[in-house]
Structure 1
């Protein structure tokens, strides 16, 4: 059979099913019915004369032919989609809702800037808390349920691109009325005091352990928190100390009446990145969103 005999519209259906290895998910992504996706696959398999997917438990698995076909077809379709998205008109006056997944420090910094931005017009930027796993986040980007993520993971997920956003670092906080700590702290003092620990949502690790070069020994833990605001409130109302994001501590130090102290360990920089699906790299709408978020950093005097 000649290449001209193929229905190329079926290729997008095939690539989507191949990506997710699920007819149900592919139907959702393509805004088609499940029978419609199944029918398209049957027509393509009929044209090829070979199976592309076989049953695998409750799901499906690609055959060798499917792997080979996807290896050649998928990059070409990505290029076409990116080119089309890049030349689409995007008007800053038109109505559009952008969804951004990010962590609590970034939400606390960006939300006031978004709400105060009178230039947004009919544009909406909605912030969602970051997801527990990289796979969940990638699904949101793949399914177009999120436009962007702001993340500090060291690795950019496959099928995505990233660009630097800003660099943060950790610091120690204590109540301004703390009876033993004022302005600085030694390693010995650090281990003598009680701690409010902060657990990271994504890495399932404590912030102090994740962003310091040294191995932190066991601490006297008074309470464990998964929220920076709760951590600051607990530190402000007790003699316990805590590690947290310096950028957020600076924003709320006066409100919580806390002192910001350099950690007695070598900190590892917290490099936040803008992460989006590769198809969005040349999208005018996504470029506008990235530039808008970066403009808020300039107002906050944060480096990127």
Structure 2
């Protein structure tokens, strides 16, 4: 029994030492190179950001490939593209580096010297209302900080936010999960639009008449389309006669048919005169839409992300 306990004690004492030895054999400076190359997906730009020569960064990438036993980056056009393994590594490595950087003396984010690019997903039709304001707000900073916006949002958005392929999402939907953060920005009113020549539509519409009309909607994706919750019920879903990928196209179709569509009031008012549409209030239903700024909680450890969150909030709330 004594020998068995002695063997167990020896094993427990040597395992941490072995792990520590393995970590000491790793050049942790390579991880900052990996982080920069993943962010910029360009060796030259990563070298400039790190204050290193291009050959030095290329050499570091070669060592990283050996360390992780993967190509990590492959040529793509004029730049490079991360492999699946690189994407899997990026989130944990970035979070670990941010935890260390945030504890260093003088740690912070200075937009005046940063060349960082932020990626933001903005769901339609909010892109029509907010994109120009966001782009102009960043442009007016007169720095090398840049922002890239995309409107293609699908079920992969949670993964993209978690691993910071995308830092933020602006949408009418929020994430009801403890590891995601949501900030309410403003409320929009939802209205009904129909062609002015529609034979049955009037400003005094009722819910009974509403339920007898054929409806045009954006594609019913749980993130992409704000109208999904209104058509979850089978009875409501049976009213759909047309699904489009863009709300502007939906409204144009409505203007030429006897269909109706749910639309944010600001968009209805902007297009009503051009398309000869009637705008009808919806007093019989919950017609308030909240616009949210959402991000994964891991982003909260990144001071650059929190700076961008503040900028996005300010420029949108100032509209």
What TM-score does the superposition give when structure 1 sets the normalisation length?
A: 0.65
Give the 3 Å change call, closer, same or farther, for CA 274–174 of structure 1 in structure 2: same
2:292 matched to 1:270? no
Question: Aligned to 2:256, which of 237, 240, 244?
Answer: 237
The number of residue pairs the alignment matches comes to 252
Structure 2 unaligned blocks of 5 or more: 1-12, 32-36, 40-60, 71-84, 86-91
- Which residue in 2 is equivalent to 1:184? 204
Q: Is the 8 A contact 2:173 2:226 kept in 1?
A: no
Provide Cα deviations, 1:177-224, integer angstroms capped at 9, x if missing partner. Answer: 4343232311222133332133333359882x6148987546554422
Give the 3 Å change call, closer, same or farther, for CA 286–234 of structure 1 in structure 2: same
Aligned partners of 2:269, 2:100: CA distance in 1, in Å? Answer: 42
Question: Aligned to 1:164, which of 184, 204, 208?
Answer: 184
Provide Cα deviations, 1:77-131, integer angstroms capped at 9, x if missing partner. Answer: 5982572599233224643321101211221111121344451323322211243
Aligned partners of 2:148, 2:183: CA distance in 1, in Å? Answer: 20
Secondary structure of the structure 2 residue equivalent to 1:120: coil
- Which residue in 1 is equivalent to 2:147? 125
Aligned partners of 1:28, 1:295: CA distance in 2, in Å? Answer: 28
Secondary structure of the structure 2 residue equivalent to 1:87: coil
Q: Is the 8 A contact 2:185 2:317 kept in 1?
A: no
Aligned partners of 1:77, 1:247: CA distance in 2, in Å? Answer: 43
State how 1:80-229 maps to structure 2 within 5 Å. Answer: 80-81=99-100, 83=102, 87-92=107-112, 94-117=114-137, 118-121=139-142, 122-133=144-155, 136-157=156-177, 159-202=179-222, 207=227, 210-211=229-230, 216-217=235-236, 219-229=238-248
Q: CA deviation at 1:132?
A: 1.7
Secondary structure of the structure 2 residue equivalent to 1:192: coil
Secondary structure of the structure 2 residue equivalent to 1:104: coil
What TM-score does the superposition give when structure 2 sets the normalisation length?
A: 0.62
Runs ≥4 residues deviating over 6 A = 212-215
Alpha-carbon RMSD across the aligned residues, in angstroms, is: 4.2
The structure with the largest alpha-carbon Rg is 2
Q: Is the 8 A contact 1:98 1:147 kept in 2?
A: yes
Q: CA deviation at 1:282?
A: 4.4
